[in-house]
Copies of this chain bind each other. A is one copy, B any other.
Amino acid sequence: MSKPTLALVGATGAVGTVMREIISSRADIYGEIRLVASARSAGKVLRVRGEDVVVQALAPEVFDGVDIAIFDVPDEVSADWVPIAAARGAIAIDKSGTFRMNPQVPLVVPEVNPDDARTRPLGIVSTPNCTTLSMMAAMGALHAEYGLRELVVASYQAVSGAGVAGSARLYDEIEALAGDRTIGQTAGDVRKALQNKLPEESPFPAPVAFNVVPWAGSLKEDGWASEELKLRNESRKILGIADLKVSATCVRVPVITTHSLAVHATFAGEVTVADAHRILNAAPTVVVMDDPANGVYPTPADVVGTDPTYVGRVRQAIDFPNTLDLFVCGDNLRKGAALNAAEIAELIVATEF
């Protein structure tokens, strides 16, 4: 069979940029690659696989002849355009939140539930939220052995989770505040210093430099943030545990890229640190960094830009039976977004083309 044609929709964004790098550095399994973006970006020339490609404006015809279309666009754009791509015969892999909880759309992490990608009545496969993805390879491996029952999660989320504008805002804020060695010591001083130097409009609801902000996403019922509910609902769907108990608190931190999670995970039976290390070491895309005596644990700055899910600080909970506490880092633009979508595409190509 001839090599499949790929369309990357949203090719100019933060994830789109990483997606082009990832597609360019992995096995070359595609024939034509089309880059698609909003009309504003049409005509731009971007590189993929070492070639210059002219960006096309999003239109129904760009999907003609496309086998696989990977979408990284806002929810409302996906809502409109993913079905159009599917109707034109493309298998649509969608990074947005629009279809993730649709029972007719599989939500896939290739290490965890690859078989789910085969059944897609709407022609759509969804890829999870970046926060959920940051831990999923690790939690999937532990679940397969131990049977996961409960998750209590606190996140340390990078600003690039809010796109290129998120990263730009943190760089801007740091530049505006650097050199003031009294900043961050008086209530409101960061906010005041930024008011004079930066536009009030920000991707974040509070200053993010010299700060942490306990909010990600939009307000849902009963005070929950959308990101916290995604982590709950998507974990249940990916792991296939309908009654998994999940509580999450999502917090933005002044890190450019790589989400971290403090995870308190309770399983069906007994767990030990040595055994958890064995399971995680055996998981192909998980790297264990867990030797605190020698200062070894994952941090965003040390793992950003790489593919694996990193796990450290694995401890047996002292007071909670069958429970591990651990710290996980994953690049939110790679495994958390572009890489997982690319892997879903590779999985489909390998098994169906």
Q: A315 contacts B178, CB within 8 Å?
A: no
Contacts of A156 in B (CB 8 A): 156, 212, 251, 253
Which A residues between 84 and 102 are near B, CB-CB below 8 angstroms? none
Nearest B residue to A324 via CB reads B247
Picked from B190, B251, B290, the residue with its CB within 8 Å of the CB of A223 is: B290
Q: How far is the CB of A163 from chain B (nearest CB, A)?
A: 14
- Does A28 interact with chain B (Cβ within 8 Å)? no
Chain A interface residue count: which class?
Answer: 35 or more
Known A-B contacts A251-B262, A264-B152; the reply to A314 vs B223 at CB < 8 A is: yes
Q: A212 contacts B320, CB within 8 Å?
A: no
Q: How far is the CB of A41 from chain B (nearest CB, A)?
A: 21
Known A-B contacts A175-B178, A247-B325, A327-B249; the reply to A206 vs B273 at CB < 8 A is: no
Per-residue CB proximity of A206-244 to B under 8 Å, as 1/0? 110011111100010011110000001000000000001
Known A-B contacts A174-B177, A188-B301, A223-B273; the reply to A215 vs B152 at CB < 8 A is: no
> Chain A interface (Cβ within 8 Å of chain B)?
150, 152, 154, 156, 168, 171, 174-175, 177-179, 181, 183-191, 205-207, 210-215, 219, 222-225, 232, 244-249, 251, 253-257, 260, 262, 264, 273, 290, 292-293, 295, 297-306, 312-320, 323, 325, 327
